């Protein structure tokens, strides 16, 4: 941490800051500049709370220099994390396609879609059994019955399944049926849930919060790793901005920065970002081109009658075409 | 809902939309305009999923006309909700001041601060026992010991207490000790927690999510009311924007709109919005002036050594001055 | 426009709105709904000002149904606009690469870079002669001398040039030397400049404002077309959001929506969005994959000593590799 | 500036950065930390371009420590700037009310409103003669005729007038008629216009851009001061965020930070921020309470027939009430 003093800070004020730093067991190193003094804090183990110093007289601001995350950091673990789920590997060098309906609505709906996405080349089946919904009056998911349908899909089509967990009460259950447990956008900083996920044997896909910074996303993942589970997949799904032509703004710039800062794989969900089918295909192409390790795409054979998110679900034939294009694009951009 | 057609939509396409609407049991009413046709959807009970129509050929967009919330809406309950906690009333005509440290750190710290804020005129004591922290490596709160200290403060100073609940596992415990249960920003759309809060006997203060729209905030409150608890206090605490001179951007415009849309009281937390002590006092004044029903302010007698959020905590003497000003301002702007 | 009434609006209030609409020469069509009445406004030529009605008693809100833009709209001109500059065509079916330094710094700097980007396959040379700078104390561009260097580059390398115009005073001059005139982000709603650009014989590249909605961007283009110049290229260069890991957030979702709403070509500038070299290459790939008609990329042979934007400039060998990849990606995603 | 190195940066890479810093004539001071080295840059006059260093091998990031603005900074000029316009003083200790219609529509409209706002206690009359409009098809202002009406108002009511200038072509004219020249939101970084404003004899009110940071606003003001005009008034008018219940989000937190960073006065325009009349009064109260030096409010005696912004204009009787409240609030919060 660097404490920046006012231009007119007195020597006594500077001395007070130095003493405050030293009283915490850190080392203080004043750096006289052209028009003001800054004071570096050294020898700290772990994060320093800027609040300790920012309100001292003569202090202009406190600037964080180091990163607060450790276990997720590429500086600590330079090699890529590869996550194996059955025969599928997620991470550097692989393009993993997850596809399926927003929600499991019935066995026949789910099986129909699963058969189609499998045939098109999807690696993992997605489908919600517990659904976080903005309104208490809309469909909340099939619950345990939905989980059982997912298990049947895995067995029938030899395809791992991913589904969302919403709370600690149902975590055991979800974990029993799912190959990958998903933590949703609205729960990215549900720290109780993150701690529980850290004790799971299953890989966890952690979706970025609607307005989470990259640092907050990585710190949320840090909770899971710190609690013992190092199989974490990050997922970008659009952030909230002033923009109104798409539901959220897909932040593809996060992908190269994640590659640089962390060893964890990153998947893109263009369906939720776009909110409209027309945008899903071009954004999927862009997601592969920017270097993501995979896509999560909503597909429905009868979107007009879908119980949720019909407007953003691809038709199976659109998805089929998309997988072909994605694989072609991936050949060009894949790391060598 | 209003379905807007393309300028060049054919009569057949318009007919298809009409049929799709009617097949759901709604009534369709086409409205020929100057250069395009729109189609109104009537006779719907509850929200209509725009996804059902937006992907039909010839449809340009679907516009929501009605509000999705019911129980929280002033259209349904025109009179103000007043919430009584001990001798304190929260809501229209009252200015309620909640104050205390970010976190309960020890009995002596909490008692010292409680005595001071009580003397200055605070109505309710705040203090965190379970702390949601971005980093797993920072202080996570005293837990049950913190709750017990809160109970002692209530008994000693005859002051109701408010504290945050982070998960369903600890809800029973928190509810036992707290007079008002707080749901934090990061949990605003933790729907399992909202449903549990709906079964509580305690009033619930629901903080707006970091990038929640007003509609999402009201729908989150709707979850609590729908589950049976109508004593909900809304809390604005700043939203995430591009701005960097304050930690979050306090959105005071939400206050008059909440007054118009909902009967629920609204409290402002300027401490978390600002993140810096210098901004807390002017933003508190503005919060009273804009018509909020109260303030929640962080106060610490020794902010340099606070375990969290020291930089934004007021000193007791600053708080004392603030309460006086707030009461003076409230006399001018209070509804008559 | 649709006027939505309060649930409890009285018949008299509804009648007042109808009369207000008719007094403006429009037609009013009330639409009784399940729980409230809406009133459609018909027969309007041009935009209706919602302010005329929103403050009448009993009115809840006014919703715009039609689009305010005309000449830029694909509903009015369904076929793609193709813009020819010398031997280069910009628009559907083409991938146009514009490259060069942020600023023209000297003849030798510009000629060195021009030679390299031409050899790598760039179609158009970019370089600023008049530079909009946040600080009055930093390099403001070479002005006329810079324009003359651009002219020399065009003649030497047989390459059209694009450069920014900052005001009406220098428009004649810039127009004389440039093949495409660029209007920068900060001037997107400088309406005097837009009107002047509408009288230019040169194609105009209009960059999206830092927080402009798509509608505002298209309306700014509408100013140029309305004044007589239909050769407008739109440019996405990142928007301002809460995100801090990149300078701006590149909004690639705007590309498919522009394709749908407008016939104008769209170019992506990933250099300004990213602000950091590491992100420029992956974002360029994504820009091609999402369906943009071209890229504008900053290249510098000696970025350490660049007078502006060195950190985001590609080295010539990076650019060479990028052009190859971009062309490969374009073959896969180009419209057929 | 502080250059932060990677954890694994080699001594040779550190040495290269030191040399790069010294080659620019600055002094480099390496600061060894717990797990990485940072390098302070000293002895720089004026801003350092981070681009010069950020792309060197082993560099993680570059952090700006000093502020880029000078003349507007309170560190350089600690005493408040007071601006006198006729008998009115704007700045610390004063609450200045500017009021009038969005646009001058006719002599009778303007005179009617001027008489009313004068009677209610407004100090300065506002009204647009040149109007920046999103659409080329809407009313663009009366131009010179509007300016002449403003002059008549000044003479008749002994009230200074403020009006917007849109370009350098009309600057001479506007300056001749106006007492304060306003630069609008969309032109905040129209640097040619700022330079011209710097040569004006009139005070300039500079409105914050829709997504301008405080630093950018202050740097835009710096352009005007640097060119010779030190009479600059800053104006907050709402920023663009994800929020939809108000047109823009009024950022009141900027007021205390401006007071701290700069000696220039700051005025709030709640009318444009809100976009709806209902919000203007509470936001005006909050603006006074937060410590602004004044308000700019739109007032219209016949908003239903206003040619622009009718929905956000107060009625004269509402304005009358507002002025009374504002003065009462100001007595409580004014600096002593």
pLDDT tens digits for range D115-138: 999 999 999 999 999 999 988 988
Nearest by CB: B65 against C4, C6, C29: C4
- Higher-scoring residue by pLDDT: A226, A44: A226
Nearest by CB: D253 against B254, B279, B332: B279
- Per the structure, the complete domain to which residue D44 belongs is given by 2-63
For residue D4, give both structure tokens. Answer: 């932060």
B34 pLDDT band, cuts 50/70/90, is low
On chain B, the residues whose CB falls within 8 A of the CB of C38 are: 2, 40, 65
pLDDT of B46 over the 70 cut: no
Domain check: are B16 and B90 in the same one?
A: no
Domain check: are B93 and B185 in the same one?
A: yes
pLDDT of C113 over the 70 cut: yes
**Could you tell me how many CB contacts below 8 A there are between chain B and chain D?**
132
For residue A120, give both structure tokens. Answer: 């098109």
How far apart are the C-alpha atoms of B301 and B112, rounded to whole Å? 8
- Residue B94's alpha-carbon distances to B97, B266, B285, C138, D283, in angstroms, are 10, 11, 15, 54, 19
For chain C, list residues whose CB is within 8 angstroms of any CB belonging to chain A. Answer: 211, 213-214, 239, 241-246, 249-257, 260, 273-274, 278-279, 282-283, 285-291, 325, 328-329, 332-333
Q: Tell me which range, A35-39, B139-143, D67-71, is most confidently predicted by mean pLDDT.
A: B139-143
Residue B35: inside a domain: yes
Residue D78: inside a domain: no
Q: For residue D163, give the nearest of D114, D209, D119 by alpha carbon.
A: D114
Q: What is the 8-class DSSP label of residue A279?
A: H
Domain check: are C165 and C273 in the same one?
A: yes
In this prediction, residue C52 carries a pLDDT of: 76
> Both ends of chain A: CA-CA distance in Å?
38
pLDDT of A45 over the 70 cut: no
Domain check: are A124 and A15 in the same one?
A: no
pLDDT of B45 over the 70 cut: no
Question: Region A12-29: what's the mean pLDDT?
Answer: 88
- B145 three-class SS: helix
In this prediction, residue A336 carries a pLDDT of: 56
Residue A276: inside a domain: yes
B335 pLDDT band, cuts 50/70/90, is low
Query: What is the tens place of the pLDDT at every residue in D31-48?
Result: 776 678 888 887 676 667
On chain B, the residues whose CB falls within 8 A of the CB of C29 are: 31
Torsion of CA D233, D236, D239, D245, to 10 degrees: -150
For residue C251, give both structure tokens. Answer: 């909004």
Task: List Cβ<8 Å contacts ≥24 apart for C11-20.
Answer: C13/C56, C13/C57, C13/C58, C13/C59, C14/C39, C14/C58, C16/C56, C16/C57, C16/C58, C17/C53, C17/C56, C17/C58, C17/C59, C20/C52, C20/C53, C20/C56, C20/D304
Backbone angles phi, psi at B172, to 5 degrees: -55, -45
- Residue C171's alpha-carbon distances to C176, C235, D121, D164, D192, in angstroms, are 8, 20, 45, 23, 12
In this prediction, residue D48 carries a pLDDT of: 76
Question: Region A145-159: what's the mean pLDDT?
Answer: 98
**Range of weakest confidence among D16-20, D32-36, D184-188:** D32-36
**Range of weakest confidence among A230-234, B110-114, B136-140:** B136-140
Residue A230: inside a domain: yes
Query: What is the tens place of the pLDDT at every residue in C83-112?
Result: 999 999 999 999 999 999 999 999 999 999
Residue A75: inside a domain: no
Domain check: are D163 and D225 in the same one?
A: yes
Scored b (16 or more CB within 10 A) or e, B299-308 reads bbbebbebbb
In this prediction, residue A86 carries a pLDDT of: 94
In this prediction, residue A63 carries a pLDDT of: 78
Q: For residue D275, give the nearest of D305, D240, D225 by alpha carbon.
A: D240
Question: Region A200-226: what's the mean pLDDT?
Answer: 97
Closest Cα of chain A to C305: distance in Å? 23
**Range of weakest confidence among A90-104, A162-176, C267-281, D164-178:** C267-281
Who contacts A117 (Cβ-Cβ below 8 Å, separation ≥6)? A99, A100, A125, A299, A316, A319
Q: For residue D211, give the nearest of A319, C242, C47 by alpha carbon.
A: C242
Among A242, A247, A282, A331, the strongest candidate for a mutation testing the C interface, having the largest count of C CBs within 10 A, is: A282
Instruction: Decide: A236 and A210 in contact? Cβ < 8 Å.
Output: no
How far apart are the C-alpha atoms of B154 and B124, rounded to whole Å? 9
Residue A55 to residue B311, Cβ atoms within 8 A? yes
Torsion of CA B267, B271, B273, B278, to 10 degrees: 130
Q: For residue C103, give the nearest of C123, C130, C124 by alpha carbon.
A: C130
pLDDT over 70 percentage in chain D:
97
Q: What is the domain count for chain C?
A: 2
> Looking at chain C, how many residues does it have?
336
Nearest by CB: A49 against B56, B222, B310: B310
In this prediction, residue B35 carries a pLDDT of: 75
In this prediction, residue B118 carries a pLDDT of: 98
Nearest by CB: B242 against C34, C42, C240: C240
| CATH number for the domain harbouring residue C24 | 3.30.70.1140
Who contacts A309 (Cβ-Cβ below 8 Å, separation ≥6)? A102, A103, A271, A272, A298, B51
Average pLDDT of chain A is 92
Q: Tally Cβ neighbours within 10 Å of residue A254.
A: 27
pTM beyond 0.90: yes
How far apart are the C-alpha atoms of C111 and C133, rounded to whole Å? 24
On chain B, the residues whose CB falls within 8 A of the CB of A311 are: 50-51, 54-55
The pairing of beta strand B59-63 with beta strand B2-5: antiparallel
For residue B204, give both structure tokens. Answer: 């619930």
In this prediction, residue A46 carries a pLDDT of: 65
Domain check: are A290 and A206 in the same one?
A: yes
pLDDT over 90 percentage in chain A:
73
Instruction: Decide: C162 and C155 in contact? Cβ < 8 Å.
Output: no
Question: Region C117-126: what's the mean pLDDT?
Answer: 98
- B neighbours by CB contacts (3+ pairs under 8 Å): A, C, D
In this prediction, residue A335 carries a pLDDT of: 66
On chain D, the residues whose CB falls within 8 A of the CB of A26 are: none
Q: For residue B295, give the nearest of B262, B272, B264 by alpha carbon.
A: B272
Q: What is the 8-class DSSP label of residue A189?
A: T
In this prediction, residue B47 carries a pLDDT of: 67
How far apart are the C-alpha atoms of C88 and C72, rounded to whole Å? 22
Residue D240 to residue C211, Cβ atoms within 8 A? yes
Residue D71: inside a domain: no
Q: CA quadruple B188, B190, B194, B197: dihedral positive or negative?
A: negative
For residue D47, give both structure tokens. Answer: 């801003």
Question: Region A151-159: what's the mean pLDDT?
Answer: 98
HEC sequence for B189-202: CCHHHHHHHCCCCC
Domain check: are C156 and C25 in the same one?
A: no
| CATH number for the domain harbouring residue C223 | 3.20.20.70
Domain check: are C278 and C150 in the same one?
A: yes
Query: What is the tens place of the pLDDT at every residue in C211-233?
Result: 999 999 999 999 999 999 999 99
How far apart are the C-alpha atoms of D5 and D57, rounded to whole Å? 9
Query: What is the tens place of the pLDDT at every residue in C4-35?
Result: 888 889 999 999 999 988 888 888 888 776 67
Q: CA quadruple B75, B76, B79, B84: dihedral positive or negative?
A: negative
Domain check: are A109 and A207 in the same one?
A: yes
ipTM: 0.91
Q: For residue B286, give the nearest of D255, A259, A172 by alpha carbon.
A: D255
Average pLDDT of chain B is 92
Domain check: are A105 and A169 in the same one?
A: yes
In this prediction, residue D221 carries a pLDDT of: 97
Q: Which chain B residue has its CA at the smallest distance from D327's CA?
A: B332
**Could you tell me how many CB contacts below 8 A there are between chain B and chain C?**
63
Per DSSP, the residues of C298-330 read EB-S-GGG-SS-GGGPBPHHHHHHHHHHHHHHH
Query: What is the tens place of the pLDDT at every residue in A260-281?
Result: 999 999 999 999 999 888 899 9
On chain A, the residues whose CB falls within 8 A of the CB of D36 are: 65-66
Instruction: Decide: A42 and D34 in contact? Cβ < 8 Å.
Output: yes
Residue B282: inside a domain: yes
In this prediction, residue B30 carries a pLDDT of: 81
How far apart are the C-alpha atoms of D273 and D7, rounded to whole Å? 45
- Higher-scoring residue by pLDDT: D304, C211: C211
Average pLDDT of chain D is 92
For chain B, list residues whose CB is within 8 angstroms of any CB belonging to chain D. Answer: 211, 213-214, 239, 241-246, 249-257, 260, 273-274, 278-279, 282-283, 285-291, 325, 328-329, 332-333
Residue A166 to residue B191, Cβ atoms within 8 A? yes
Domain check: are C173 and C266 in the same one?
A: yes
In this prediction, residue C137 carries a pLDDT of: 87
B138 pLDDT band, cuts 50/70/90, is confident
Scored b (16 or more CB within 10 A) or e, D104-141 reads bbeeebbebbbebbbebebbbbbbbbbbbbbbbbebbb
Residue B78: inside a domain: no
How far apart are the C-alpha atoms of B241 and C305, rounded to whole Å? 34
Closest Cα of chain A to C93: distance in Å? 16
For residue C162, give both structure tokens. Answer: 């694009």
Domain check: are D173 and D207 in the same one?
A: yes
How far apart are the C-alpha atoms of A149 and A59, rounded to whole Å? 60
- Residue A81's alpha-carbon distances to A78, A96, A226, in angstroms, are 9, 14, 15
- B141 three-class SS: coil
In this prediction, residue B316 carries a pLDDT of: 96
Instruction: Decide: D230 and D71 in contact? Cβ < 8 Å.
Output: yes
Query: What is the tens place of the pLDDT at every residue in B176-225?
Result: 999 999 999 999 999 999 999 999 999 999 999 999 999 999 999 999 99
pLDDT of C336 over the 60 cut: no
């Amino acid at each position: 941490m660097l404490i920046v003093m006012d231009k007119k800070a007195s020597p006594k004020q500077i001395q007070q800051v130095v003493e405050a730093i030293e009283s915490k067991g850190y080392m203080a190193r004043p750096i006289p500049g052209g028009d003001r003094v800054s004071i570096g804090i050294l020898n700290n183990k772990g994060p320093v709370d800027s609040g300790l110093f920012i309100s001292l007289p003569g202090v202009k601001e406190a600037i964080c220099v180091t990163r607060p995350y450790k276990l997720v950091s590429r500086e600590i673990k330079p090699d890529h994390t590869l996550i194996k789920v059955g025969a599928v590997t997620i991470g550097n060098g692989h393009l993993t396609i997850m596809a399926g309906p927003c929600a499991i609505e019935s066995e026949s709906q789910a099986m129909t879609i699963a058969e189609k996405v499998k045939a098109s080349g999807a690696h993992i089946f997605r489908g919600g059994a517990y659904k976080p919904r903005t309104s208490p009056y809309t469909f909340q998911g099939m619950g345990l019955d939905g989980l059982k349908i997912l298990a049947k899909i895995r067995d029938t089509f030899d395809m791992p399944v991913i589904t969302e967990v919403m709370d600690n009460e149902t975590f055991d259950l979800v974990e029993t049926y799912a190959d990958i447990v998903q933590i949703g956008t609205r729960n990215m900083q549900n720290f109780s849930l993150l701690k529980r996920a850290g004790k799971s044997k299953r890989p966890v896909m952690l979706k970025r919060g609607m307005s989470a910074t990259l640092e907050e996303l990585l710190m949320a993942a840090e909770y899971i790793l710190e609690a013992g589970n190092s199989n974490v997949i990050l997922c970008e799904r659009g952030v909230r901005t002033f923009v109104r032509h798409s539901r959220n703004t897909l932040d593809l710039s996060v992908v190269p920065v994640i590659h640089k800062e962390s060893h964890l794989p990153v998947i893109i969900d263009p369906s939720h970002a776009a909110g409209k089918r027309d945008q899903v295909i071009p954004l999927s192409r862009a997601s592969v081109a920017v270097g993501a390790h995979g896509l999560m795409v909503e597909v429905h054979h009868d979107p007009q009658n879908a119980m949720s998110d019909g407007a953003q679900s691809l038709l199976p034939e659109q998805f089929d075409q998309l997988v072909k294009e994605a694989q072609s694009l991936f050949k060009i951009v894949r790391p060598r």
